[in-house]
Structure 1
Amino acid sequence: MRSVAFPLALLAGVAAASPAFAQADAPFTGPRIEGLVGWDHPVTNPGHDDAVTYGVAAGYDMQMGGALVGIEAEAMDSDAKSCVGAETVANPRVCLKAGRDLYIGGRVGTVVGGRALLYAKAGYTNARVQLNSDDGIEDVRLDKTNLDGARVGAGVEYAVGPNSFVKAEYRYSNYEAGLERHQALGGFGFRF
C-alpha cells in the first residue's frame, strides 16, 4: 500500500503544480481585468479641450512562445466638453459633451524580457455624445447620439507580480460625423 501511495501523491503534486508552471512560462496568458485612467483629447469643430478619461477593461490573452493574441472589451467615460457662446439669452452657450465609450477589439503583441509586453490593438468603438444649450437661465439638452467608429492603439504592459500588471497605452479613435479622439492611458490590472 505504501509503495502505491507515494507515486500517487507525487503524481497529484505534479498535476497540481502544472498550472503554476504553465503560468510562469506564459505570464500573459489568461483572463484579465483592469482599471484605466488618462488624458483624453477629443477633436471636434469648432474647438477641443483636454480632459480626463477613466474606466474598466476585461480581456483574454493567449501567449504562444514570445507572441500574444487577445480579445478585450472596455467601458470608459470622460469629462470632455467643448463649448462656444456666452451663456446669455442672446448668445446661449452650446456644449458638446462626451459620454460613455464602449470598445471591443483584439490585440497582438510580443513578450520582451519575460515580464514586458509590447502590443498593438484595433477594434470597434461606440461613443455617446450630448449637445446642450445654456442661456444662463435654463440648461437644455438639444441632442444625444451614439457614434460608431474604429480604434487603433499601441502600448506596453509590465508584469509587476505573478498575477498583476501595470500598463501604458496610446490610442486613436475615429468616429462618424468627423469626431476624432486621442488618448494616453495608464492602468493597473489582475490576470487570473
Structure 2
Amino acid sequence: MGPKLNGTFGAYAGVDFASTDYCTELFGHDEACLKAGRNITVGARVGYMIGSDALFYGKGGYSNGRVKLAYEDFDNVIDDIDEGENLDGFHVGAGAEVQLSASTYAKIEYVYSKYDAFDYSDTDVEVDLDLNRHQVLLGLGLRF
C-alpha cells in the first residue's frame, strides 16, 4: 500500500478592506482618483495533507469589490464626479499551511481576483477600466 493522502474540503466567506487609491493631477490642479474599498468573498477550498503537518490547497469563488471614482475640477469647468460601484467577479488562489504546534500554524497564500469592468460616462468624461487584484498573505493562526 502507498502513502495515505488526507484530503480536506470546506467553504469560506470573508470581508476585507483596502485603502488603495491612485490619484493624479489633470489639467492644472484638477485631481482624479480611483479608490478600492471593501471586498467580499465566498468560496470553497480543497486541500491535501502531505505528511502529518503540511496542507497544500487551492481555492476559488465569488468576489464583490467596491470601487470609487472621484474627480475634482478646481476651475469649475465641468461638474465634479463622485461615483462608486460594486463590481462582481471571481477569485482563484493556492496556499500552504504548516502545523507549528498542536494549536498553531503558519500559512502563505496567493489569490488573484478579476472583476467586471468599471464603466462611467457623462457628457464630459468617459472611463472604462478592467480591474484585477493580486494578493499575497502571510499569516500565523490559532486553532481552538
Q: Normalising TM by the smaller chain, what interval?
A: 0.7 to 0.9
CA-based RMSD of the aligned residues comes to: 2.4
Residue aligning to 1:112:
50
Structure-1 separation of matches of 2:59 and 2:91: 8
Corresponding residue SS for 2:52: coil
Structure-1 separation of matches of 2:72 and 2:54: 48
Residue aligning to 2:38:
100
Residue aligning to 1:156:
96
User: Amino acid of the residue matched to residue 85 of structure 2?
Assistant: T
Residue aligning to 1:126:
64
Residue aligning to 1:179:
131
Structure-2 separation of matches of 1:115 and 1:87: 58
Q: Is the 8 A contact 2:42 2:62 kept in 1?
A: yes
Residue aligning to 1:73:
13
Structure-1 separation of matches of 2:60 and 2:87: 17
Q: CA deviation at 1:141?
A: 5.8
| TM-score normalised over the length of structure 1 | 0.59
Q: Is the 8 A contact 1:87 1:136 kept in 2?
A: no
Q: CA deviation at 1:136?
A: 6.3
**Cα displacement string for residues 104-143 of structure 1 (whole angstroms, at most 9, x for unaligned residues):** 1110011112111100000111111111224569xx6610
Structure-2 separation of matches of 1:165 and 1:133: 45
Q: Is the 8 A contact 1:171 1:184 kept in 2?
A: yes
Equivalences, count: 126
Q: Which has the larger radius of gyration?
A: 1
> Does the alignment pair 1:142 with 2:91?
no
Q: Is the 8 A contact 1:127 1:148 kept in 2?
A: yes
The structure whose residues are more often strand, as a share, is 2
Residue aligning to 1:85:
25
Structure 1 unaligned blocks of 5 or more: 1-63
Q: Which has the higher contact order (CA 8 A, sep 6+)?
A: 1
